[in-house]
């Protein structure tokens, strides 16, 4: 839940910036940042548009470790994950707190981008986010990019940026 608090704080602090419109805040997150964005989607109505770029799963029950955190092996990550559930003494509660279980509270449009050959955050995770948002009757745009992995390159990167800018323009520039 610390991620949620961290995501809400900058959104709320925008009010103190004279050059920013506090009614036109967008949030963009890649990979783990996409995971933070899925959490912010369900707790912060201040954010008016969300972009997920190859996000981690919005369901904490998904356990897949490939890259390692800070040089750790995938096994080290899995061990850390398991210890987290052990120490909570209530793993079911932690699972129930997954953002995907709260998508009914999403109040802003969502745009999702994922590479079809992403092995770090596979397309299935983004598809699950898309499907649950649709099941909750939320507005979602979904794009898969052929021959793109976890970090887009070339024409995929260019197209991604064009879509993100157009999305933010559409939902944030007209807000007064």
Domains identified in the chain and CATH numbers: 2-59+100-173 (3.40.50.1820), 60-97 (no CATH)
pLDDT tens digit sequence for 119-146? 999 999 999 999 999 999 999 999 999 9
Rounded to an integer, the average pLDDT of 144-165 is 98
40: nearest Cα among 62, 55, 54: 55
CA 160 → CA 56, 111, 120, 166, distances in Å?
18, 11, 18, 10
pLDDT tens digit sequence for 21-32? 888 999 999 998
Q: Looking at residue 67, what is its pLDDT?
A: 46
Q: Whole-model pTM above 0.75?
A: yes
Q: How far apart are CA 50 and CA 41, in angstroms?
A: 7
Q: Looking at residue 65, what is its pLDDT?
A: 45
Q: Cα 122–125–126 angle (5° rounding)?
A: 100
Highest mean pLDDT among 2-16, 54-68, 102-116: 102-116
Structure tokens at 43: 């707790």
Residue 15 has pLDDT above 80, yes or no: no
Residue 2 has pLDDT above 90, yes or no: no
Question: For 124-132, which contacts have Cβ atoms below 8 Å and span 24 or more sequence positions?
Answer: 125/55, 125/56, 125/57, 125/58, 125/62, 126/52, 126/54, 126/55, 128/57, 128/58, 128/59, 128/100, 129/38, 129/52, 129/55, 129/58, 129/100, 132/58, 132/100, 132/103
What burial letters (b/e) apply to 23-37, b meaning 16+ CB within 10 Å?
Answer: ebbbbbbbbebbbbb
Q: Report residue 19's pLDDT band, with 50, 70 and 90 as the boundaries.
A: confident
Q: Report residue 175's pLDDT band, with 50, 70 and 90 as the boundaries.
A: confident
Q: Looking at residue 62, what is its pLDDT?
A: 65
DSSP state string for 116-176: TT-SSS-HHHHHHHHHHHHHTT--EEEEEETT--SS--HHHHHHHHHHHHHHHIIIIIT--
């Amino acid at each position: 839940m610390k991620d949620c608090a961290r995501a809400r704080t900058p959104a709320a602090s925008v009010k103190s910036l004279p050059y920013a419109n506090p009614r036109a805040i967008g949030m963009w997150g890649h990979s783990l940042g996409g995971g933070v964005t899925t959490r912010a989607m369900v707790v912060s109505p201040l954010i008016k548009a969300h972009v997920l770029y190859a996000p981690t799963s919005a369901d904490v029950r998904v356990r897949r470790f490939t890259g390692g955190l800070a040089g750790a092996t995938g096994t080290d990550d899995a061990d850390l994950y398991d210890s987290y559930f052990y120490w909570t003494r209530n793993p079911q509660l932690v699972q129930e707190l997954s953002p995907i279980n709260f998508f009914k509270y999403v109040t802003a449009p969502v745009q999702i981008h994922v590479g079809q050959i992403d092995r770090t955050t596979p397309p299935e995770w983004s598809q699950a986010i898309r499907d649950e948002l649709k099941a909750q009757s939320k507005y979602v745009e979904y794009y898969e990019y052929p021959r793109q992995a976890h970090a887009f390159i070339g024409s995929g990167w260019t197209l991604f940026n064009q879509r993100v800018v157009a999305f933010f323009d559409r939902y944030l520039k007209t807000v007064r």
